[in-house]
Amino acid sequence: MVRTKGAGNGTVERIQDLILAEGLVPGDPMPTETALCERLEISRSSVREAMRTLASLDIVEVRHGHGTFVGQLSLAPLVDGLLFRARLDDGNDLRALREVVELRIALDLSVADQLVEIYRGSVNPELESHVAEMRELAGRRQPFPEADAAFHNALFSRLPNSLLRQLAQAFWEIHTTAVPMLNIAQADDILVTVDAHQAMLTALEAGDADAYREAVVEHYRPLGRTLDAAGRAETGAVRA
Amino acid sequence: MVRTKGAGNGTVERIQDLILAEGLVPGDPMPTETALCERLEISRSSVREAMRTLASLDIVEVRHGHGTFVGQLSLAPLVDGLLFRARLDDGNDLRALREVVELRIALDLSVADQLVEIYRGSVNPELESHVAEMRELAGRRQPFPEADAAFHNALFSRLPNSLLRQLAQAFWEIHTTAVPMLNIAQADDILVTVDAHQAMLTALEAGDADAYREAVVEHYRPLGRTLDAAGRAETGAVRA
């Protein structure tokens, strides 16, 4: 099933099959290189080559000095690929980055009803504290990526779909990494974003899905303006 | 920015930077291995190792006998990783596959208003023909993955967000590949799915976003029942 381009695909597949046949799970130690050579009857260099491909897909994880383990199957390869795509077309109206942001909005909106069910009538001091931290930093004109990530991760942590949580996190990471990488100036109206985080939380606690949806759209407005301004600027100013 | 685990990361990043600095775009030939060795002052084996990682991320593409090119930056690595994840937890209530299907539903619902704007008042013989083909095959109790893919790709082809289109296609591919791989029986009520495709199209042409959303949910219902039945079955029956 692996259609990864490059050499050694047959071996990549066979090692995947072996992981499944052995019933290994993420974090389990992989068989040694020698064992893989013997069992698959292939050369050490083929095994190494395949393991490198599997490592880049996070299907195996090399912990230097400790050995090789079944990987966490994270979305890190997606983040890497999309970040590179964002950098590649940075002269092209920041389209790749805009598309990532649109998908973040779509995901945030798609879980409105689920989040309302979860948060209605609750109090959430942890989420409040992340908003307070954002507000404090924004007041000093400091960026606040850690508090922002902490807010979104905590908000989504109670959703049952782990793929959705990881995808939301991957898109967050891409956009947050890409914005400074592309030398895009932070919006002046970043306090709007802070208020919108608060409004998202307040709406969910009040059980108001529509108000949550409005706050989500508001939350991304300063970023949209930032991207618009950067897209209009001369290429020289936007390029990393 | 590449946090890919495994050896040779510094080189992977430096080759990415070189692609950007040279202004290369997908499909352009990559510098030769020799040129890369000289320009980055690294060994041939380091270059090869890094190129293999870049190939598995679809950042470069090796066309055997033709050389190496800048890759299409597709979501193939995501598909590979998630397919493996689906196979890895196939004893575990098919959770990975369910999560993929939930994400498909979320994406399909998220574009309701956009699709209505695009298709309102239009006639779409191509989309109709895909539905007709599905109906014909379902009548003979044949699977219809090609017609199904063609329908969804054609429907989304007019959406401006290429990342969303690719993501929808990637999730389609994962679920369509995983279902037979996990030996999950096709639902008896697969005609419901055919009718739902027709209903999605009719709703969009009529400019009715709510009816489209209902049809989307209906569209996934037989699959949901299939996954429920498979999840309840003994592990031996579900395992690939």
The ipTM (two decimal places) reads: 0.83
What residues of chain A, 56 to 95, have a C-beta less than 8 Å from chain B? 56-59, 61-62, 71, 73, 75-85, 87-88, 95
Please give the pLDDT value at position A141. 85
Distance CA B61, CA B66 (A): 10
Distance CA B120, CA A13 (A): 45
| CA distances from residue B189 to A7, A102, B65 in whole angstroms, order as listed | 42, 35, 48
Q: Provide the shortest C-alpha distance from residue B34 to chain A (in Å).
A: 18
Of A5, A181, A240, the CB nearest to B61: A5
Q: Residue B86's CB: how many other CB atoms inside 10 A?
A: 25
- DSSP tag of B109: H
Closest by Cα among A220, A192, A202, A222 to A115: A202
Q: Which residue of B lies nearest to A9 if distances are taken between CA atoms? A: B56
**Mutation choice for B interface testing from A19, A161, A163, A175 by most B CBs within 10 A:** A163
Q: Provide the shortest C-alpha distance from residue B3 to chain A (in Å).
A: 7
Contact at 8 Å (CB) between A235 and A199? Answer: no
Of B3, B62, B96, the CB nearest to A6: B62
Distance CA A155, CA B132 (A): 44
Please give the pLDDT value at position A91. 59
End-to-end CA distance of chain B: 37
Residues of A in contact with B49 (CB under 8 A): 52
The percent of chain A in helix, strand and coil, each rounded to the nearest 5, is 65, 5, 30
Percent of chain B exceeding pLDDT 70 equals: 88
Query: B57 vs A102: CB contact, 8 Å cut-off?
Result: no
- Residue B186 clears pLDDT 80, i.e. is over it: no
Which structure tokens are listed for B78?
């995501």
Of A84, A107, A181, the CB nearest to B59: A84
User: If you average pLDDT over residues B172-181, what whole number do you get?
Assistant: 83
Distance CA B109, CA B104 (A): 9
Which residues of chain A form beta strands (DSSP E)?
A: 60-63, 67-70
The model's pLDDT over B130-175, given as tens digits with 9 standing for 90+, comes to 999 999 999 998 889 999 999 999 999 999 999 999 999 999 998 8
- DSSP tag of A4: -
> Token match 């974003």: residue?
A193
Please give the pLDDT value at position A185. 65
Please give the pLDDT value at position A2. 42
Q: Residue B23's CB: how many other CB atoms inside 10 A?
A: 9
Q: Residue A170's CB: how many other CB atoms inside 10 A?
A: 23
- What domains does chain B contain, in order, with CATH numbers? 9-70 (1.10.10.10), 76-238 (1.20.120.530)
Of B57, B83, B161, the CB nearest to A80: B57
Range picked from A80-89, A172-181, B47-56, B187-196 for highest mean pLDDT: B47-56
Q: Which residue of A lies nearest to B113 if distances are taken between CA atoms? A: A106
Of B8, B55, B177, the CB nearest to A6: B55
Q: Provide the shortest C-alpha distance from residue B85 to chain A (in Å).
A: 7
Give the residue ranges of DSSP H helices in chain B: 9-21, 33-40, 44-56, 76-88, 95-110, 112-119, 125-139, 145-156, 162-181, 190-205, 209-232, 235-238
What residues of chain B, 201 to 230, have a C-beta less than 8 Å from chain A? none
The model's pLDDT over B109-119, given as tens digits with 9 standing for 90+, comes to 999 999 999 99
Distance CA A39, CA A94 (A): 48
Please give the pLDDT value at position A77. 86
Contact at 8 Å (CB) between B240 and B183? Answer: yes
Residues of B in contact with A240 (CB under 8 A): 20
What residues of chain A, 186 to 205, have a C-beta less than 8 Å from chain B? none
- DSSP tag of A7: S
Of A1, A4, A55, the CB nearest to B6: A55
pLDDT in tens, chain A (240 residues): 444 444 446 899 999 999 989 989 899 999 999 999 999 999 999 999 899 889 988 999 999 889 999 998 888 888 888 888 888 875 566 888 889 999 999 999 999 999 999 999 999 999 999 999 999 999 998 889 999 999 999 999 999 999 999 999 999 998 888 877 777 766 667 788 899 999 999 999 999 999 999 999 999 988 888 888 777 654 444 333
Please give the pLDDT value at position B8. 45
Please give the pLDDT value at position B9. 61
Q: Provide the shortest C-alpha distance from residue B119 to chain A (in Å).
A: 20
